[in-house]
Structure 1
C-alpha cells in the first residue's frame, strides 16, 4: 500500500473551515489503516510536512497525494503530474476538469453524481465525512430553544426569522468559533441551518453539511435548507423541517409548534451509522485497496477510453429550438 499524503494549504486559523477539519479527520482515519500524513503547501507548520520540501524526496509511484482544496486543484494536479493523485471532492462547481488517471473520493452522493457526469472515465468512490463519537444525545436538560450560527446562515434567517422568534422564545445566535459544538447542540432544542444563499453567492455547492447531521446525533430538532449534499440525508417532514418556506410566519409558527409539542423521539442510529467511524473505516479500507490496484494498472497500460463528446448537431438543434421558443414568447 502506498503512503498517503493529505495536502492542505495550512492548519492555522487563516484556513479554519469545515473542509480543513474534514480533511484532518480523514487523514486520522487513514492513519488507523496505513501510513498517512498531513502535508501543508502554502504555509509551514512545525507539526506537519511541507510539500516543497517533501516532493523532491518522494519517488513516483511510492506514495499517493490526496488533494481537496477546490480552487487549488488545477495547480496541484499540474505540480504532481508525475505522482499518483486522488481528488477528495467536497463542494462541487469549481469548473475544472480532471484527467481519467485521477480517482475521485466524493464525500456525498450529491458530489458523486456531479463527478459521475463530469468525469465518467475516472475511478469514483463514495467516502462520507465522519461524525465524531462525542456527537450523541447526552439526555440532559436543554436551556436553548433555538440555536443559530451566523456563519453560512441566510440573511432571511438573521434579519427576519430570528427577530420574529426572539419575541417568543429563547434564541441563541453564535457568531464565533465554538470549541465544543457537541455540548452546545446538547443544550439546544432546535437547530437552524440555512446555507442555500451562502453557497449561491459563492457559486459552489454545499459539499456535505455536517452541522445538521451532528445536531441530529445530539438529539436536536433540525430546521434546514435542503440544498446540495444536505439532500443526502435530510428528509423534510421525517427527520427535519424545511426552513425559509413561503413566509416568516409559516416558518416561525412551525418552529414554535415544534418547541411546544416536540415530535416523538426517533431512533436516529440507522441514519447516523453510515457516518460513524467503524462504518467509514470498513469502506475506506476497500477504497484504498481499489485505488492502489488502479495505480498499479496505470504503470502498465495507458488510458484508451474515448472521452464523451456532445453531438454538435444536437447542440445546434437545441440552440435553434431555444431561440424559436424565445421568439414565440415575445
Structure 2
C-alpha cells in the first residue's frame, strides 16, 4: 500500500478539538495497516513534517494525502491537484465541491448521504469513529444524577433545563478538560447533550457526536439532540431519549424519572457498540485502503470520466425535463 500523509493544520493551541483527537486515533489505527505520518500545513510542530517542505522535494508518486479539516479543504484540494488525495469527511455543510478523482471516506452515514447526493460520481466509503474499549460500564456507584458538558450545549439546556433540575437532584456541569472521561461517565446516571443550536450557528453539521456514544458505552441514560451524525446511532425510545422534547416540564419529568428509578433505563445494545470498536474499524480500514489503492493504480489510464453533477448541469437537466413536459402536453392536446 502507498504511504499516507495525514494533513492537519497543527497539533496544539487553537487546533485542539474533538475532530483533532478523532483524526489522531484514526491515524494510529491506519499505522497498523500501512505507513502513515502526520504532516502539518499551518503551524510547524516539533519532529513533524510540514507540507510545503514535502511538496518542494517532489517524488510523491507512492504517497496519498489525507485531508480532513473542513474549512481548509477547498484550498488544500487545489494545492494538491495532480497528487493522490483522500478526503476524510467529518462535518457537512461547508458548501464546496470536490473533483470526482478524490475518494471520500465519511465518519457517519449522515455525512456519506450528503456526499452521495452532492458528489454522486466520487468513490464513497463509510468509516465511523473509533470508540475506545476504555469506554465501558465499570459497575461503579453512580453518585452524579445528571451530567452535562457546557461546550456545544444549547441556551435552553444551560439556562433553563439545568437550573430547573439543580433544585431537585445532583447536577454536575463540566466546563473544562476532564482527564478521566470514562470515570465520570461511569459515575453519572443521566447524560445530557444538546448540540443542534451550536451547529446551526456554525453553519455546518454535527459530524459524529462522540460524547453521547461514549456516555452510552459507559452505561449512562442519554438524553440528546438527534442532529447530523448523531442520527447514525441514536434511537429515541430504544437506546436514548430526545432532549428538548416540546416543553421544559416534560424534559424534567422524564429526566427525574430516570434519576429516581421510576422510568426505564435506556441501555445501549452491545451489538451497536461493536460497529465502533477497534476490531471492526481495523477491518473496514483494510478494505477501504485496498480499494482506494487499487483505484489510484488505474486512475491515470481512465480516458472517459462521468460528467459531474454541477449546478450548471442540474439547471440544464431541469430545463430539458420541462421542455419534454411541454412537448408532451402539446402532443396530447
Secondary structure of the 1:186 match is helix
**So what's the TM-score if we normalise by structure 1?**
0.93
Query: Where does the alignment leave 5 or more consecutive residues of structure 1 unmatched?
Result: 319-330
Secondary structure of the 2:173 match is strand
Secondary structure of the 1:87 match is strand
Which residue of structure 2 aligns with residue 125 of structure 1? 125
Residue deviations 1:1-47 (CA, integer Å, cap 9, x gap): 11001111011132111111111011111001110011111111113
* Residue 54 of structure 1, CA deviation: 2.0
Residue 187, structure 1, aligned to residue 187, structure 2: yes
Counterparts of 1:241 and 1:265 in 2: how far apart (Å)? 8
Which residue of structure 2 aligns with residue 112 of structure 1? 112
Asked if the contact 2:9–2:40 (Cα under 8 Å) also holds between the matched residues in 1, the reply is yes
Counterparts of 1:219 and 1:266 in 2: how far apart (Å)? 6
Secondary structure of the 1:179 match is coil
Counterparts of 2:247 and 2:269 in 1: how far apart (Å)? 29
Which residue of structure 1 aligns with residue 95 of structure 2? 95
Which residue of structure 2 aligns with residue 277 of structure 1? 278
Query: Where does the alignment leave 5 or more consecutive residues of structure 2 unmatched?
Result: 323-333
Which residue of structure 2 aligns with residue 314 of structure 1? 318
Counterparts of 2:30 and 2:120 in 1: how far apart (Å)? 26
Secondary structure of the 1:121 match is coil
Asked if the contact 1:234–1:240 (Cα under 8 Å) also holds between the matched residues in 2, the reply is yes
Counterparts of 1:65 and 1:302 in 2: how far apart (Å)? 23
Counterparts of 1:302 and 1:106 in 2: how far apart (Å)? 27
* Residue 267 of structure 1, CA deviation: 5.7
Aligned length: 318
Distance 1:186 1:154, change over 3 A: same
**So what's the TM-score if we normalise by structure 2?**
0.92
Counterparts of 2:47 and 2:240 in 1: how far apart (Å)? 40
Residue 268, structure 1, aligned to residue 272, structure 2: no
* Residue 187 of structure 1, CA deviation: 1.2
Secondary structure of the 1:192 match is strand
Distance 1:122 1:267, change over 3 A: closer
Counterparts of 2:163 and 2:218 in 1: how far apart (Å)? 26
Q: Which segment is superposed worse, 65-74 or 254-263?
A: 254-263
Which residue of structure 2 aligns with residue 328 of structure 1? none
